């Protein structure tokens, strides 16, 4: 069996992006299309509309409440907003992976003066985000239909730096392999301003969990993690803030984040410094990818 096949089999055994049972029979399929990269399906059940990559996929890429579209449905999107506790006033933001536009939509409302760049490889996802999830780029938001790593390299060559970078690029299985490696994270680190913050959405249960931890640590040193279904990794370029700084920033942001469902009483207790992976854990690299790892090569 090929490394890619083993990679697919292994990832099929772990939790989905937002673990959930298959939609019941009452779910209504609003849209389906085959893009260059994937099958995109939009389903609706009651008050909730969701985007999935494939009819039988367990993972939902985006869900939105029709009655309260600003309130975040997924725990992981609310946990990603905790990145603001590490830098409460980002002026330039990069998001890799659009989905239905939940994260850029929230950030452009919170920080209307901020410049936001979004890289999404699939033009069909961009179209679905606008038509079915109401995502409209603001006057200072640009969406680039481009692979996230290619985009990051291009911004680095231009000398662009970001105060906040959010990694949320997934296919129907998991994070694309070329966006899991030490080399990729080094490229992302080079894009951060001195106080810049990185937030990365990963699985909370995965055969790659320790390898991801070791790889992030090799590039950034200590990092915070929040877990609830998914794991969100948070790092800051000049070192992690102490708990007192997190608390101050959480207090200052509470009135703005609570309507999204990202309130401090829920978020702050989840903060912890990740630790505990074996000392000899292999680091994921462009040469030693997850496929190589799972293939035993």
> So what's the pLDDT on residue 105?
98
pLDDT score of 106: 98
Residue in this structure with the two tokens 């899991």, named with its chain if needed: 180
DSSP code at position 86: T
Q: Which residue from 233, 213, 295 is spatially nearest to 76, judged by alpha carbons?
A: 233
**By the 8 A CB rule, do 209 and 48 touch?**
no
Dist CA 258 CA 246 (whole Å)? 16
Predicted pLDDT of residue 289: 76
Tens-place pLDDT, residues 243-273: 999 999 999 999 999 999 999 999 999 999 9
| pLDDT, position 185 | 98
Positions marked active-site: 168
Residue of 138, 106, 129 whose CA lies nearest to 258: 106
Phi, psi for residue 116 in degrees, rounded to 5: -120, 125
Look up the pTM and report it.
Answer: 0.90
Please tell me the predicted confidence (pLDDT) of residue 58. 59
For the chain, which residues make up each domain, given as ranges?
3-65, 75-286
Segments of the chain assigned E as strands: 28-34, 39-45, 48-52, 60-65, 92-96, 115-119, 141-144, 162-167, 192-203, 224-228, 230-236, 272-273
CATH of 75-286, one of 1.10.260.40, 3.40.50.720, 3.30.200.20, 3.40.50.150: 3.40.50.150
- DSSP characters over 3-31: HHHHHHHHHHTS--SS--PPPPTT-EEEE
Residue 289: CB atoms within 10 Å = 19
Contact present, 98 and 129 (Cβ < 8 Å): yes
CB 52 within 8 A of CB 22: no
Task: Give the C-alpha separation, 297 to 277, whole Å.
Answer: 21
Is the CB of residue 224 less than 8 Å from the CB of residue 233?
A: yes
Question: pLDDT 10s digit of each residue in the chain, 297 long?
Answer: 444 444 443 444 343 444 444 444 488 999 999 999 989 999 999 999 999 997 665 568 899 999 999 999 999 999 999 999 999 999 999 999 999 999 999 999 999 999 999 999 999 999 999 999 999 999 999 999 999 999 999 999 999 999 999 999 988 788 999 999 999 999 999 999 999 999 999 999 988 999 999 999 999 999 999 999 899 999 999 999 999 999 999 999 999 999 999 999 999 999 999 999 999 999 999 998 777 776 665
């Amino acid at each position: 069996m090929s490394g890619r096949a083993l990679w697919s089999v292994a990832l099929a055994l772990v939790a989905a992006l937002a673990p959930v049972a298959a939609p019941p029979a009452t779910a209504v399929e609003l849209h389906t299309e085959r893009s260059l990269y994937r099958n995109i399906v939009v389903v609706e059940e009651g008050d909730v509309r969701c985007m999935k990559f494939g009819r039988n996929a367990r993972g939902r890429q985006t869900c939105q409440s029709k009655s309260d579209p600003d309130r975040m449905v997924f725990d992981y999107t609310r946990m990603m907003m905790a990145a603001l506790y590490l830098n409460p006033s980002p002026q330039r933001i990069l998001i890799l992976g659009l989905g239905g536009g939940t994260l850029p939509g929230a950030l452009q409302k919170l920080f209307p003066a901020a410049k936001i760049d979004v890289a999404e490889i699939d033009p069909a996802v961009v179209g679905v985000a606008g038509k079915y999830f109401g995502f409209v780029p603001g006057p200072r938001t640009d969406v680039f239909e481009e692979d996230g790593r290619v985009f990051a390299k291009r911004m680095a060559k231009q000398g662009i730096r970001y105060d906040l970078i959010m990694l949320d690029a997934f296919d129907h299985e998991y994070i694309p392999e070329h966006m899991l490696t030490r080399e990729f994270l080094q490229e992302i680190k080079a894009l951060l301003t001195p106080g810049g913050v990185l937030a990365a959405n990963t699985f909370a249960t995965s055969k790659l969990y320790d390898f991801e931890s070791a790889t992030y640590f090799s590039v950034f040193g200590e990092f915070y993690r929040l877990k609830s279904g998914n794991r969100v990794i948070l790092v800051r370029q000049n070192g992690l803030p102490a708990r007192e700084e997190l608390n101050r920033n959480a207090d200052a942001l509470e009135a703005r984040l609570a309507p999204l469902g990202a309130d401090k009483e829920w978020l702050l207790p989840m903060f912890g410094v990740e630790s505990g992976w074996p000392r000899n854990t292999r680091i994921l690299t462009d040469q030693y990818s997850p496929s190589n790892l799972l293939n035993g090569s």
